[in-house]
Amino acid sequence: MDVLVTGASRGIGLELVRTYAARGDRAFAACREPGRADLPDGVRPVRLEVDDEASIEEAYGVAAAATAGLDLLVNNAGILDPHPVAPERRDSLQALGDLTFDDAIAVLRVNSIGPLMVAQRFMPLLRRGARLVNISSNAGSLSDKTSGGWYAYCASKAALNMVTRGLAADLADRGVIVVSVHPGWVRTDMGTAAADLPVEEAVSALVETVDRLGPEATGCFLDSDGSIHPW
């Protein structure tokens, strides 16, 4: 199986390419600075900035030269905020009164528009029956949103879920299965050490769910165990 994962220099993305490479799949690790990533042997680095069209085009060329098609594309790259966030600031992140156009647009550009543009460009490489997985979050669930703050991040993940619905419809004729997945609260740089799940456990569940995906799942928002998450 040929797999490309964005945001693969650390956290969930890095563990995904490690897992796929370890089981014998051909894994492409797409990230901003692949030379600085601790990638395992056999993983193919691809430089990619998901918020830059020229970088997406370059990454497509690298992947297309190395494989005739992808069986799995994981849009994992994402940011919580365009600025470093101190742990004590997280609870009030993107609070009403502190928002700026530039910061909000930067988050939406990476988390929502970037995955759409990656999917659009890499569409010719997606084999029939391929899976396109957008790493979303319960923060993007409208029904789960009962608190203030985190406006840009929450809106970006809700927008990503809408992108998933559109891609599922547009790619149905090609047999491509498109889903959004909430991986859980994971101990990564973004999730912090306070999170519930070690990255290895979260990725193991995610990989098992992706392996089981069938046509009936396309257009769905899933938890990492494959159950339906409320929109």
User: Residue 210's closest CA among 79, 69, 19, 39?
Assistant: 19
d(CA 174, CA 49): 26
Which residue among the candidates 20, 60, 151, 153 is catalytic per the annotation? 153
Using DSSP, how many helices (H) and how many strands (E) does the chain show?
A: 6, 7
Q: H-helix or E-strand containing 223?
A: strand 221-223
Of 165, 168, 167, residue with least CA distance to 215 = 168
Kindly report the number of other CB atoms within 10 A of residue 187's CB atom.
18
Q: Comparing C-alpha atoms, which of 162, 123, 126, 118 is closest to residue 142?
A: 162
> 153 an active-site residue?
yes
CA distances from 164 to 161, 172, 180, 190, 223 (A): 5, 12, 6, 22, 14
Q: Name the token pair of 14.
A: 């890095």
Which residues participate in catalysis according to the annotation?
153
